Amino acid sequence: MEDVLYAPWRDDYVTGEKIEGCVFCHISTHIEDDEKLHVLYRTESCFIVMNRYPYTPGHFMIIPNQHTDKLEELPSEVWLEMSSLAQKCVKMLKEGFGAHGVNLGMNLGAPAGAGIAEHIHLHLVPRWQRDTNFITSIAQTRVYSSDFEKIYKKLQELLPKYL
């Protein structure tokens, strides 16, 4: 007997339009595609975008417009803006989205686990009590229990109240 886990939302990953070059630079420069690219918010120096293949519902990233793989070379004012946005977004995830906690993280470089190592980005991953179950722990498989588009719309509605 063969075990099969269906994940139809991943079809876009396999068959969807591929972005040439740095995906984050593409998002940074294509403001007209914010809805399609799931951008939540923009400032002059960075943007907030949903993680298209999230760890948990509501997982998004804060990304500088500047293409760099070195946090140490990012202008201090950009890092301060990203940090300020992160504080406000954590509050939004807890108060507005109902998260019990939030993981913040940056994987700097491929050896550190960065999936897109050429452009730094800060992950915000909402967490809930008991959100890790047997399938995640034993089978290294994540179950995404909510509709991605509904969560995107919900976060779009919440952000103006917190930023």
Which member of 38, 59, 119, 121 is catalytic? Answer: 121
The token duo for 132 is: 């890790």
Phi-psi region of 155 (alpha: psi -120 to 50; beta: other; left: phi over 0): alpha
Q: Is 121 a catalytic residue?
A: yes
Half-sphere exposure in the Cβ direction for 139 (13 Å, CA)? 9
Closest CA to 68 of 18, 114, 5: 114
Residues 6+ apart with CB under 8 A from 121: 24, 61, 62, 63, 106
Closest CA to 93 of 140, 158, 145: 158
The residues that are catalytic are 121
